[in-house]
Each structure stands twice: as structure tokens, then as C-alpha cells.
């Protein structure tokens, strides 16, 4: 990430080259349009950074995807406000149990016959299928609204280069998880667990609904760079690379966590407080007109 930031900062002097464009008779310029619109597709590489790294660890990276509609408001040839709307899928993993961690508390939950979460109240697991959770892969869909300031160079050949920074507000539409688990039995008389299938390997449960286990809104900082290739007039192809850092926890707060439990002492269970902050790198391709 530091190399990416250095690249952006080192590119900023280029953006000042465009300030004399209006007075340069050599430069051929197209008519400035106050509004431009665009369509694009994107792919992303996502991750989750747990706050309590003694209890939880970053899981697998995830490949997401999305598409969107852009609207650009041009203040001049070199300064633009970019907004619009896009749909995206964020994917990343989180390890809930790792014996190498300093505090490796076991995490448990219960599913009913339809593989829906069962609310866990008190210190006895509810009726249903009991599992220990080892790691979880999140797949969360969002509707996003970016507010981005875009700084551009003059057209160099057929290319215009730019850097941008701003914020993105996302609203969750759907959340699913794929879990690596171990089935268990629980003996309430002595508060002990046993392997229900007597298997050494772990099992997987896919596409569990996790809407109630994830936050409904995310807010992130956005930093990026890219280039436009002029096709004709105001029509251009573009590609760009963005880094997003989301400042709020992806997961639900412990007071709202109804399903995941960790055993803090024998026969005593508390709601899991696994704060994890998402981030991703996004590569976009599209057309502006």
C-alpha cells in the first residue's frame, strides 16, 4: 500500500500541467462538457483485518466483482467531481479459531434443518445442529455511492492521466458466508463437547444467510489513479486502480449478535465480538461519453 501511495503522490505534479491548457495554441482541445457519463465493470481483491489479532486472524483473500454508472461534473479541464452508483460483491475470509494465536477461543453456533441460524440465549446450546466455527468466507453485496474528486493532466497523445481521492458509502443488499466447521455434541450435565461424527477432517457449509451478522452500511476512503484513452471527441475508454479502506466494522456488534457464541469458561458462553475492518483493491474498465 505504501508503494501505491508514493505513486499517487509522485504523480501529482503532472496534474498541474493542464492549468495552461486554455492558453496553449499548440494543444488541440475538445469542447469542455459540464457533464459526462460512463459505464464500467470492475474486479476486486478483498481482505478483512481483525481488530483483536490475538483472537482472530485474517483469512483468505477474496475475488469480488461489480459494475456501475458514473456521472462526472467538470469544473474545468483538469478538475472533476465524480459520483454515480455501482453494485459490487465484497469477498474475504476471517479465521475464528487458530491454535497458533495467543487467545484461541472456540466459536460455536447452531443451525436448524434448513441451515438457518438458531438464536442462542443463555448458557445451553439451543436445539439444532451444533458446530464449531474454524474459518468463514464472507460474500457481501452492496449498492455504493462514490463522491470522488478527480484531478487530470492535459491530453498527452491520446491519453489523459488522473489521480483521485474521496469517499464511498455502501448499503448492504445481501450477505452469505461459507463456513469451515466441525459438528459437535454437547453434554449439558457436565458442559462438555464431543465430535458428533468422529471425523478428523473439517466439513464445509456453503451459502448461509448472514444478513443479521453483518452491518447494513459501510463507509470507506477511496484513493486511485488511472488513464483515459480518447476515441473521438468526448468519448474515451478508461481504466483505473483504486484502494478502498473502510472505517467501520463489517460484523454486527456483540449486543446484536444472536447466533455466534464463545465459551469464556466451562459452560459459560458470551456473544462473539469479532471486529474486522474490510479493505480492497479495485481494477475498473469502462467508457466515458
Q: With contact defined as beta carbons under 8 Å apart, do 111 and 131 qualify?
A: yes
| Model pLDDT, residue 32 | 85
| Model pLDDT, residue 82 | 97
Q: With contact defined as beta carbons under 8 Å apart, do 12 and 19 qualify?
A: no
| Model pLDDT, residue 197 | 77
Q: What is the pTM of this model?
A: 0.85
At 154-211, the pLDDT tens digits run 999 999 999 999 999 999 999 999 999 999 999 988 999 998 777 677 899 999 999 9
| Model pLDDT, residue 104 | 74
Q: With contact defined as beta carbons under 8 Å apart, do 131 and 110 qualify?
A: yes
Report the distance separating Cα 169 and Cα 153, nearest Å.
Answer: 27
| Model pLDDT, residue 36 | 95
| Model pLDDT, residue 225 | 98
> Can you read off the three cell numbers belonging to residue 53?
489479532
| Model pLDDT, residue 86 | 97
| Model pLDDT, residue 29 | 57
Q: With contact defined as beta carbons under 8 Å apart, do 88 and 144 qualify?
A: yes
Q: With contact defined as beta carbons under 8 Å apart, do 107 and 260 qualify?
A: yes
At 121-138, the pLDDT tens digits run 988 999 999 999 999 999
Q: What is the DSSP string of the chain?
A: -HHHHHHHHHHHHHHGGGGGGGG-TTS--PPPPSEEEEEEEEEEEEEEEES-TTT-EEEEEEEEEEEEEEEEEESSSSEEEEEEEEEEEEEEEEES--TTSSS---EEEEE-TTS-B----TTSPPSSEEEEEEEEEEEEEEEEEEEEEEEE---BTTEEEEEEEEEEEEEEEEEEEEEEEEEEEEETTTTEEEESS--SS-EEEEEEE-GGGB-SEEEEEEEEEEEEEEEETTEEEEEEEEEEEE-S-SBPPGGG--S-EEEEETTEEEE----EEEEEEEEEEEEE-
Selecting from 2.40.160.20, 3.40.50.300, 1.10.3720.10, 2.40.110.10, what CATH number does the domain 2-288 have?
Answer: 2.40.160.20
Report the distance separating Cα 148 and Cα 163, nearest Å.
Answer: 10
Q: Which residues of the chain have pLDDT under 70?
A: 1-30, 199
At 198-210, the pLDDT tens digits run 767 789 999 999 9
| Model pLDDT, residue 30 | 66
Amino acid at each position: 500500500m505504501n508503494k501505491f501511495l508514493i505513486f499517487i503522490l509522485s504523480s501529482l505534479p503532472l496534474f498541474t500541467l493542464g492549468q495552461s491548457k486554455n492558453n496553449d495554441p499548440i494543444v488541440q482541445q475538445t469542447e469542455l462538457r459540464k457533464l459526462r457519463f460512463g459505464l464500467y465493470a470492475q474486479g476486486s481483491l478483498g481482505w478483512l483485518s481483525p481488530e483483536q489479532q490475538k483472537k482472530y486472524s485474517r483469512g483468505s483473500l477474496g475475488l469480488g466483482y461489480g459494475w456501475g454508472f458514473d456521472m462526472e461534473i467538470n469544473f474545468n479541464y483538469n478538475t472533476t467531481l465524480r459520483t454515480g452508483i455501482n453494485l459490487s460483491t465484497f469477498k474475504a475470509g476471517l479465521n475464528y479459531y487458530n491454535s497458533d494465536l495467543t487467545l484461541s477461543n472456540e466459536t460455536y453456533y447452531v443451525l436448524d434443518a434448513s441451515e438457518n441460524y438458531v438464536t442462542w440465549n443463555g448458557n445451553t446450546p439451543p436445539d439444532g445442529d451444533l458446530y464449531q466455527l474454524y474459518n468463514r468466507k464472507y460474500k457481501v453485496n452492496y449498492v455504493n455511492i462514490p463522491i470522488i474528486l478527480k484531478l487530470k493532466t492535459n491530453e498527452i497523445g491520446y491519453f489523459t492521466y488522473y489521480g483521485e481521492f474521496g469517499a464511498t458509502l455502501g448499503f448492504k443488499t445481501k450477505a452469505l458466508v461459507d463456513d469451515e466447521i466441525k459438528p459437535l455434541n454437547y453434554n449439558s450435565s457436565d458442559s462438555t463437547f464431543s465430535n458428533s461424527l468422529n471425523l478428523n477432517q473439517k466439513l464445509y457449509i456453503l451459502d448461509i444467510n448472514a444478513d443479521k451478522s453483518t452491518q447494513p452500511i459501510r463507509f470507506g476512503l477511496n484513493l486511485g489513479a488511472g488513464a483515459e484513452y480518447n476515441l473521438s471527441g468526448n468519448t474515451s475508454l478508461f481504466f483505473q486502480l483504486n484502494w478502498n479502506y473502510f472505517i467501520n466494522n463489517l460484523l454486527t456488534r456483540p449486543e446484536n449478535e444472536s447466533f455466534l457464541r464463545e465459551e469464556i469458561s466451562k459452560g459459560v458462553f458470551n456473544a462473539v465480538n469479532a471486529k474486522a475492518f474490510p479493505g480492497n483493491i479495485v481494477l475498473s474498465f469502462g467508457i466515458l461519453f
